[in-house]
Amino acid sequence: MKYSTNKKALDPIVDAKKIQELKLCAVHHRKKLLELGKDLSIRLHYGAATSSVEILTTLYKVWMTYDSEEPQWNDRDRFVLSKGHAAPSLYITLSSCGFFPDSEFKNFRRLHSMLQGHPDRKKTPGVDCSTGSLGQGFPVAAGMALGGKADNASYKVYVLMSDGECNEGSIWEAALISANYKLDNFIVLLDWNKKSSYGEMKGRNDVVPLDKKWEAFGWNVIMCDGHDFISLTQALENAENAKDQPSILLCNTVKGKGIPYVEDNRTPSNFMLSDKQYTEAMAYLETLEVEICL
Instruction: List contacts with other proteins (CB under 8 A).
Output: 74, 78, 120-122, 128-133, 136, 139-148, 150-151, 153, 169-170, 173-174, 176-177, 180-181
User: In the complex, what is the shortest distance from the CB of residue 30 to other proteins, in angstroms, rounded to a whole number?
Assistant: 29
109 contacts 45 by C-beta, under 8 angstroms: no
Question: Which of 133/287 has CB closer to other proteins?
Answer: 133
Nearer to other proteins by C-beta: 44 or 127?
127
Nearest distance from C-beta of residue 171 to other proteins, angstroms: 10
CB of 287 to other proteins, least distance (A): 41
Euclidean distance between CA atoms 5 and 280, whole angstroms: 37
At its nearest, how many Å lie between other proteins and the CB of residue 228?
Answer: 30
Cα distance between residue 277 and residue 291, in whole Å? 21
Nearest residue (CB) to other proteins, 50 versus 82:
82
Amino acid identity, residue 47? G
Tell me whether residue 121 or residue 213 sits nearer to other proteins (CB atom). 121
Complex with other proteins: residue 24 or 114, whichever CB lies closer:
114
Q: Which CB atom, from 146 or from 210, has the smaller least distance to other proteins? A: 146
In angstroms, give the least distance from the CB of 82 to other proteins. 10
Whole-number Cα distances in Å, 192 to 18, 37, 75, 154, 196: 25, 24, 30, 29, 10
Q: Distance (Å, rounded) from C-alpha 25 to C-alpha 23? A: 5
Which residues on adjacent β-strands are paired with residue 208? none
244 near 263, Cβ under 8 Å?
A: no
**Closer residue to other proteins (CB): 170 or 238:** 170
- Give CA separation, 31 vs 21, 51, 89, 102, 119, in Å: 15, 14, 11, 14, 21
**Is residue 138 a contact partner of residue 174, using CB atoms and an 8 Å limit?**
yes
In the complex, what is the shortest distance from the CB of residue 182 to other proteins, in angstroms, rounded to a whole number? Answer: 12
Least distance from other proteins to the Cβ atom of residue 103, Å: 26
Task: With H, G, I as helix, E, B as strand and everything else as coil, classify residue 35.
Answer: helix
Please state the length of the chain.
294
Angle at 272 between CA 266 and CA 273, to 5 degrees: 70
Rounded CA-CA distance 281/15 in Å is 29
